[in-house]
Structure 1
Amino acid sequence: MITTTFKLYSLDSNVEPLNDQSVFEAVIPPIQRLKDFSDEEFEEFITEWAAACAKTKYKDVYRIGGAGDKGRDVIAEYETGDFDYYQCKKYSAQLQPSQYWIEFGKLCYFVYKNDIPMPKKYYIIASHDLSKKLRTLLENKENIRNGLIQEWDDKCSKNLIEKKTILLDDSLLEFIKQFDFNIIDTYSMNTIIEEYRHTNYFYFRFGGNIKPQRSIVIEPPTDIESIECRYLDKILAAYSENKKENIDIDKLGQYADLLKDFSSRRQEYYSAESLKRCIRDIFSTESEFEILKDEMFSGISDYIQMEFKDGFDKLKKTMHESTRVNLSISRVDRDLHFVGNVDKKGICHHLANADLINWRTLDE
């Protein structure tokens, strides 16, 4: 049974939020903190915002910024296979038309060459917003068309592709004359920040007191679920070594100590499962849970190679050892303090479910 009172928004992005600890040490207005973002951090921020605030709109949102992005720092994909593009500009002042003709040129040229699909929308995202001149340009899309044609030789021809000159020949010129510049739009930084404020990522980039809470609780169901089979089979094998007879579910009732232990192990597994679901709601992926699993495995891998009396002894002692493993490499433990001892034990069961841990001490 799953009980959830998680009240924050979930995300649809694969991008990892910033791990800048200074956001927890000083209160700085987000618009001011943006000035300290690198180009890469700014693109990641926009990716998070686009994914979080348009999660019902897009199938996926991902960042491809860098050389060869063909004027698309962030791509948002619809279920239909259509795309929106977000082109990010992290400058120290408002974005001017003279700085953007090359991006208009990239959009037209690479669509013309069928290197990229024609987007449904193309958003200009500037850290210091658009200048009055550029906003005026966007108000009348014919001005973009006429300006691009006029500025092509100076701003675009030698700058679209390294060591190559792209002439505005008749075919390309005709394509630009027919191009639908109505797809071009923008968002102000204030709008983006206010929308971003309601996402779980805000706390990690800008600090503040809107801290994600862990409030998903999954209780072990009465009937054993199929997802439990592997780790429970390994536990039963450990019991069998201890009792020197084959212990299955039906025989558990004959041993009070095993029945009590079995119940505890399932509680541990579902505690970690609750943690995994919570992580997925906050970060929209389970990558942070995988970090916890990897770190736990690293922490106990040598220990489980030691000598034990039997599988049950190995299980119990490893559970104790797991509570000593430092998992602060993950922000889930370091910043949110979500991981308790029961979760650590449960993570071991998830490792067993993935066949990374075996409690048996006897050869198969």
Structure 2
Amino acid sequence: MTGAGRIERLALPGVLTAEEAARTAAGIAAVQRADGAIPWFRGHHLDPWDHVEAAMALDAAGEHERARAAYRWLAWHQNPDGSWYAAYADGAADEPTDRAKETNFVAYVAVGVWHHYLSTGDDAFLDGMWPTVYAAVEYVLTFQQPGGQIGWKAEEDGSRRTEALLTGSSSIHHALRCALAIAEHREEPQPDWELALGLLGHAIRHHPERFLDKSRYSMDWYYPVLGGAVTGVAAKERIEERWDDFVVPGLGVRCVVPNPWVTGGESCELALALWAMGESDRAVDVLRWIGHLRAEDGMYWTGYVFEDEAVWPQELTTWTAGSLLLAVAALGGDEATTAVFGGERLPAGLEPECPCGMEA
């Protein structure tokens, strides 16, 4: 589909017109450096996860060469062990500002690469990025604990945090599914990855005690659904259970309770999770609510403190705009985005035998 056709698909009544969608995509593109890096905004840092999300949004808008440049940046600047650092000053690869290595940041390249391939059908790109994806996944899986959960990160001194974050592990669950899809497409089976994915999914679904308690954060609420580990009736029950805790009708989704702060990224990600559950009407409602975060240049403020009626922080972030475009793309039926976030055709991994007695 041409860029113009993709932009038309990003029109969603009450949320975006095609012209507004094009303006948002242009806003992300304006932040991208000549070497492909996409920081949060110019002068701030790049982190690998949000860099990928912004690149995926560019693909959804038909900006395939820009997205390709973003993935080339990752390939060129991957550490020898398969990782990336957690943050780089303004996207400058030679200026890491946080030398920790967060596992969910490292894994997410697989989601973006598979999305780009599905957007373009570019086999040469997929072949070229396979070593990058493979090395990233192999690095991340060295952090997997016996219970299936993935340790959080490596510190700057090389020491490892074995504690696991539910949101991060759920994102890695999604990334492993996309990595396995790439492997299957290339006819290069990865049985160890399938086992790891099955163990991880089981831990997310049935063993909350294996993760740090971050239940104050909305991401821990919806990410097991968004990452594809929790589906069907269980997904709907999970979302309903804490809907009133996190959702502020008319404004969006709280980042953390009880703070009176709604954020665009969390709102758009919840909308994606709702769409994946088959609740498109509620997803559209959430996206409509965050129209108050849209700036004149088509970008989106990170958040809004509703008790003070104040935008905070004063940041227009590429990843907030990117999450909005991806949610709209899914609702509009963009094939690559629905395939990546819908998950019906993504590998599910091998179910483990667990003495807990719960079905995987």
TM-score bin, normalised by smaller chain: under 0.3
Structure 1 length as normaliser, TM-score? 0.24
TM-score by length of 2: 0.24
Quick check: which has more Rg, 1 or 2?
1
